[in-house]
Amino acid sequence: MLSSVLLDACLDAGIDFFTGVPDSFLSGLCDELYARWGTDGPRHTVAHNEGGAIGLCAGHYLATGRPALCYMQNSGLGNTVNPLASLMDTRVYALPCLLVIGWRGEPGVKDEPQHVRQGAVTLGQLELLDIPYFILSPEDTEEQFRERFAALLTALRQGRVAAVVVRKGALKASLKPDYGNGYTLTRERAAEILLSRMAPEDIVVSTTGKLSREVFEIRERTGCGHEKDFLTVGSMGHASMIALQIAREKPDRRVWCLDGDGAALMHLGALPLIARSAPENLMHVVIENGAHETVGGMPVCSGQLPLAALASAAGYRTVLEPDGESALKETLEQIQGRPGPVLIAVRCACGARADLGRPTTTPIQNRDAFMGFLK
């Protein structure tokens, strides 16, 4: 079904504000939202995380008396549980909101390991929160959708939160926007440069998504093994906290956190905590492509304030912003011998190789090899 059908049905029902965090299963919806209203306006706002998006929905209803739509991957349900249960619920403020949730890890459907548990409990979470829902499948007709959607509107009128759970391929876009940013250095090439200039005993923690997949493939190409790298799966935005505590526990070894701007923005409180802890051995690298590129390419919510400025204000000892391959190489020379925490915001292009693979080791194998390397 075209995403425009869902959006038009929402507008007809008075749902006129849309917010959330992009998901690959919802890329058609995200593309349609971007094409119609951009990413930061009165109709559509890309949020920093899903809980914050629920807050925006609450504010919209309080100001207008009209419910909003909040879109997310099902992994984001965890970020919404607190506001859904303690703010939106009918036993508290009874603030209606429509959730549109990409169902990653649906039982019986092959997916990446970080989605298996969340996929198995998604429907149960909604039931536990007393949220009525229906499942949107690729084979559903527009008529079937509208019939089920009407039932959810009844729940919204009762002050309840309701949900549409979207299976893979169920929502399609009528167009694909150009999410390019004008930079030329690819994320994979940046990762290759970074890895090639690390010392043999250095430790790597990479964020969830395509960056970790690229790190794995670079190690495969160079025959370096994978024990030095913790490939964070799921838990978007928490790679820097994993890296921080490893750096504190292993002060005699340099720790590199390879992060993404969308992930870093999701939990910005990590920056002042890292700065206050002041680990001299932590190198925090943020790939700045301005996009949730792993899940479709929609722009992140950074606005006009770069992460580098935030890190500097938070108290990082050194903050650098290389733009291009030669600038990145020069930056890595400059930080030799400098105490951390250091933040390197690397401006990179959107996109990845079409044939980019996935790790061939399991998370448990990654954990055991990594812990062995730390010892």
Do the beta carbons of residue 167 and residue 136 sit within 8 Å? yes
Global pTM value = 0.88
Distances (CA, A) of 104 to 4, 109, 169, 195: 22, 9, 11, 31
For the chain, which ranges sit under pLDDT 50?
none
**Torsion angle of the four alpha carbons 121, 126, 128, 132, in this order, in degrees rounded to the nearest 10:** -140
* Beta-carbon count within 10 A of 328 CB: 22
H helices present in 253-358, as ranges: 261-266, 270-277, 307-314, 325-334
DSSP 8-state symbol, 293 = G
DSSP 8-state symbol, 166 = E
Please report the pLDDT score of residue 302 as a whole number.
61
Please report the pLDDT score of residue 353 as a whole number.
85
Say how far apart CA 156 and CA 222 lie, in whole Å: 55
Say how far apart CA 277 and CA 289 lie, in whole Å: 27
**Torsion angle of the four alpha carbons 278, 282, 283, 288, in this order, in degrees rounded to the nearest 10:** -70
DSSP 8-state symbol, 295 = G
Say how far apart CA 194 and CA 283 lie, in whole Å: 11
Q: Report how far Cα 360 is from the mean position of its chain's Cα atoms.
A: 22
Rounded to 5°, angle at Cα 279 from 278 and 282: 120
Please report the pLDDT score of residue 357 as a whole number.
87
Q: Which of these, 260, 267, 261, lies nearest to 206 by C-alpha position?
A: 260
Ranges for all domains in the chain classified under CATH 3.40.50.970: 3-166, 187-374
Rounded to 5°, angle at Cα 8 from 7 and 11: 90
Helix (H) or strand (E) holding 78: helix 77-83
- Domain over 3-166 is classified CATH 3.40.50.300: no
DSSP 8-state symbol, 296 = T
Structure tokens at 62: 């309080």
- Would you call the peptide bond into 341 cis, given omega within 30 degrees of 0 as the criterion? yes
Say how far apart CA 314 and CA 273 lie, in whole Å: 8
Please report the pLDDT score of residue 43 as a whole number.
93
Architecture of domain 187-374: 3-Layer(aba) Sandwich (3.40)
Say how far apart CA 93 and CA 62 lie, in whole Å: 10
**Torsion angle of the four alpha carbons 65, 71, 76, 81, in this order, in degrees rounded to the nearest 10:** 20
Q: What are phi and psi of 184, to 5 degrees?
A: -110, -25
Structure tokens at 243: 């890296």
Say how far apart CA 119 and CA 232 lie, in whole Å: 18
Q: What are phi and psi of 369, to 5 degrees?
A: -65, -40
Please report the pLDDT score of residue 303 as a whole number.
60
Say how far apart CA 192 and CA 202 lie, in whole Å: 15
Please report the pLDDT score of residue 245 as a whole number.
97
Write the Ramachandran bin of 325: left for phi over 0, alpha for psi from -120 to 50, otherwise beta. alpha
Q: Which of these, 325, 326, 194, 190, lies nearest to 254 by C-alpha position?
A: 194
